[in-house]
Structure 1
Amino acid sequence: MKIITKLLDALRLDSAEKSESGLKISSQNTMPDAQTIYFKNGKIYDVYPTDETSWYDAKYLISDGIFYDLEDKKSLASIPVPSFKENNLFEGYGITGSLEYVLKMKAANLRNKGKIEESDCIYKRLHLFMSASDNGYQEKDYLNYSRILLREGRFEEFEAEEKRIKEYLKTVKTCGETFDFYNIKEQLMHKTLSDCKRFGTDYIMMSAHCDCCEECNKLQGRVYSISGKSKIFPKLPDKIRKTGQVHEGCRHHFSAYFFHNDGEDTVFNKMGEHVDAIKASQRPFVDDRSEEEKQNYLDFLKSQEGEKVKKEDEIVYYHLVKKLPDIAPKSFSAYRRMKNSRSKNFLKLVEAAKEYGINIDLD
């Protein structure tokens, strides 16, 4: 008999014993009657039937030895957040086999089947699994459920959920519970300064890349002296030392640097090339970006602003769908095209929206 068969025989379910959070597996039960996924410490390690290639629509979950029905509201609400111990994304199935990701996909599948309440049960607690997994999720990932509520016209729930998640993220620690979710840059700088002190170096290196702003371009790709006592390297700017960034939204990072003064000390320039650390650090503080780099940076800012406007447009659009279903465009993309073209129909829509207290920004 294959090893997998023996394992499954040991995980039979029918006469399972009840526990506080689910059903504890008993070895005297029959086989699962539907697709079942098996997790330990937040990582998938088996699936039944064994020939299944996708587990995002599994009926049952066995997490750390406890059985849960993934289509039962009470059972879904009782799934505990696992430890995610030794959660290495480079092993096994990567993030696709991590419990929070599988639950997210299951919630979407339930919604597609019209099982909204069951889907909500997962989404309302998904942020707890996401933060515990420490898999590098961004704010927009945490706010996914709130946007779903918006698209479904559940506006009060959308606003409440968005507020709830943003408040929750203020309490979240990332990178092995080392940094605050909303304050990573500053705390990372504090850690880097602490590491420099611990390892006995007075130097910090700033990364470099193309298509940055004027100020960052002047400062990047250099070695800085923390104390300011170096006769070779410039003093680390006070703002960077305090905030860990040149400006809000800065994409550069800083790391400890060990200077050997042997003629072979190098840093990376913005082209990704090794260059002499002393020469790079002592170069003039001037903006030497090409016209192409300057334009690329402006395009980057435009894209960032575009994402902000898109989110605002989405809120307006779904209010229009709710209040003016007969004249609202059939899709969000159609609405944005109409808005960008300032068509006659769009201007009529603007006037009609005012009667319902919906203000469409034309800027």
Structure 2
Amino acid sequence: MVGYLLSEIGLGEAARLLVSALDAASIPTSLVNVPLAGRQAEGMLRPRLVSSGGHRLALTVSGALEIGAFAGRACRGQQNVHYTFWELPTVPDSWRAMFDGFDAFWAPTTFVRDMLMSVQKRPVHLVPQAIRLPAAPPPPRAGGPLRVLTLFDYDSYVARKNPQGAFEAFLAAFPAGTEDVELVVKARGTASFEARAAIARIAARDRRARVIDRTVSRDEMGAIMERCDVFVSLHRSEGFSLGCAEALALGKAVVATDFGGTQDFLTEETGFPVRFRQIAVRAGDYPGGEGSYWAEPDIAHAAAILRSIYDDPASIAPKVRAGHALLQRNNSPEAVGARIRSLLGADG
């Protein structure tokens, strides 16, 4: 397995969680880390790293943008499978040839699967992204203000993550300024001064908003998540959205744009999907976005949802129970490991 196994970025966490699925299925695995300068804060798999693998199949985890580079690095004789993350429904025509470097593709969501099937001819299989799941959804947090959390990485492109949308929905839902609510914005990444300044200006509009702008440990991030009641992602697109899935697994109400990979696990039964309208990706907003489209979330609808949760917090519990059951069936390490074992058996 080849990936950013020591990095704290989303692709690194996705790869580590996939390792947990391989381990759950007792599949012998050698781990090859791809260094990412300045972003190697997760050392849990360091003792298992090797310089190269020796198995009949190499599984590489990366974004679609990196497929060409990873093909040159990992594809050396054995069967080569790419586990692909991508946030748009299309890729530029000029990228299509680079998919030929791999023998097959695994997709973490139907959104990514459909993209892969539309742009290349190799076999594509749906292998849901594994996530950590408690045995049962935790009980609702008791006492204190209704605490809303949104998070993003500046390096994942602010236009796609759209943290401004979460601010606007929060302000529209609680305009009086006297409601017992808080908004916590967890940010990180190497953004320009202008991007950070823009987020700071928005947060300064309401004393109930707080920005945490730094990389934190796994335990500290877990504590931030534990203290919240609602997780908001008014993204314009997501290939999967680990944040939404983890929040749902941990018993939080998830309010998210109903577009992209979140559609596999966030429904009216499991959370609070937000309406959107389709818009073109503007030049410069995302690499490979030329001629593609994504979602513009309905801020008024998101605000109405937040207000309804504030007025009726008991509405969270049944959705969380349904969401946990769905994730257990599809995204637990055991379920994903069984899916991988089945695919390996089918491939001989």
Q: TM-score range by the shorter chain?
A: under 0.3
TM-score, length-scaled by structure 2: 0.24
TM-score, length-scaled by structure 1: 0.24
**Bigger radius of gyration:** 1
